[in-house]
Amino acid sequence: MTTTRINRCFERCRAEKRGALVVFASVGCPTLKESEELIDRLIDAGADMIELGVPFSDPMADGVTIQKSGQIALSAGTTLPEIIEIAKRIRQAHPETPLILFSYYNVLLNYGLERLGSDLKAAGVDGVLVIDLPLEEREEIMPMCEVNDISFIPLISPATSTERAKQIAENCNGFVYCITVRGVTGVRNTLPPELSAELEAAKTACQLPVAAGFGISTPEMARSVAKHADAVVVGSAVMKSLIEEGSNAAVTLVAKLAKGMR
């Protein structure tokens, strides 16, 4: 089996004895053009992997910040075809940075799964993460991922049992997204004390790299979580800087996060 960009990304970080920094951005916030520039700069600032957030009208798993960044993106008229175009250009500029499409299922379903698979592959997108497609429903999209060599990134949560986590990781090859809290996305001051134990258990159960996400907001939190996870995902904190203070602030935050993890 050929190695994937995701595999190689984790290998590089492991060689540097650090966790990977995954940054989520709502594509199209504040505008398509500015968001494309932002993602480019976030990678230069030290993001190892990018989650391309597809805005959705009803983001049930998201807290206020990502609801807002998504609404801004939708008001700017962002659509999935445009997001895929942006992915294509980012891929050309950054040949080794894994790109993960992060979406609610309805937008993908409307686009058409077959067309989605070939378009994502052509654009150089490495994985898809569908927040509302659990183990019970994912068979709808898995064949499309397999045919196009796209990693399906599954999620586990603090409510997931070890047995279920094992099942969830089966037939997946990228990494497992480990939700840190019982709750929605959003900036938080603290994380649950049992998180480190849960992450270690997830690594053992899943036999795949584990990325921890939801609520991780500061370089200190990122560094501390990275001790127990292969990657740390930061989304709301970056979108909050972007919305409240602009692109430069978001880039500065990502640079600090990256530095904190090295």
Partner 1 sequence: MNTHFGIYGGQYIAETLMPTLIELEKEYLKAKNDPAFIAEYRDLLTDYVGRESPLYYAKRLTESLGGARIYLKREDLNHTGAHKVNNTIGQALLARRMGKTRLIAETGAGMHGVGTATVAALFGLECDVFMGEVDVARQAPNVERMRTLGARVISVSSGSGTLKDAMNEAIRNWVATAENTFYVIGTVAGPHPYPTMVRDFQAVIGTESRRQILEKRGKLPAEVIACVGGGSNAIGIFSAFIDDPAVKLTGVEAGGRGLHTNEHAASINGGRVGVLHGCKTYLLQTPDGQILEAYSVSAGLDYPGVGPEHSFLADSGRVKYEVINDNEALEAFDTLSRLEGIIPALESSHAVAQAIKSAKNYSPDESIVVNLSGRGDKDMENVANYKAASKKSLEK
- Give residues in contact with partner 1 (CB under 8 A): 56-63, 67, 74, 79-80, 104-111, 131-137, 154-161, 164, 168, 179, 181-184
| Minimum CB distance to partner 1, residue 162 (Å) | 12
Nearest to residue 72, comparing CAs of 82, 64, 84? 64
**Which is nearer to partner 1, 45 or 129 (by Cβ)?**
129
What is the SS3 assignment for the chain? CCCCHHHHHHHHHHHCCCCEEEEEEECCCCCHHHHHHHHHHHHHCCCCEEEEECCCCCCCCCCHHHHHHHHHHHHCCCCHHHHHHHHHHHHHHCCCCCEEEEECHHHHHHHCHHHHHHHHHHHCCCEEEECCCCCCCHHHCHHHHHHCCCEECCEECCCCCHHHHHHHHCCCCCCEEEECCCCCCCCCCCCCCCHHHHHHHHHHHHCCCEEEECCCCCHHHHHHHHCCCCEEEECHHHHHHHHHHCHHHHHHHHHHHHHHCC
Residues, the chain, total?
A: 262
- 62 given a catalytic annotation: yes
Our CB check for partner 1 shows the closer of 20 and 133 to be 133
For partner 1, give the closer residue by CB, 135 or 243.
135
Is residue 119 among the annotated active site residues? Answer: no
Q: Which CB atom, from 110 or from 207, has the smaller least distance to partner 1?
A: 110
How far is the CA of 27 from the CAs of 106, 116, 173, 219, in angstroms? 17, 17, 25, 23
**Catalytic residue among 36, 48, 62, 198, which?**
62
Which entry of 48, 51, 119, 198 is annotated as an active-site residue? 51
Least distance from C-beta 94 to partner 1, angstroms?
A: 27
State in angstroms the smallest separation of the CB of 119 from partner 1: 14
Nearer to partner 1, 34 or 82 (CB): 82
Q: How far is the CB of 87 from partner 1 (least distance, A)?
A: 16
In angstroms, what is the minimal distance from the CB of 111 to partner 1?
A: 7
Report, as residue numbers or ranges, the catalytic residues: 51, 62
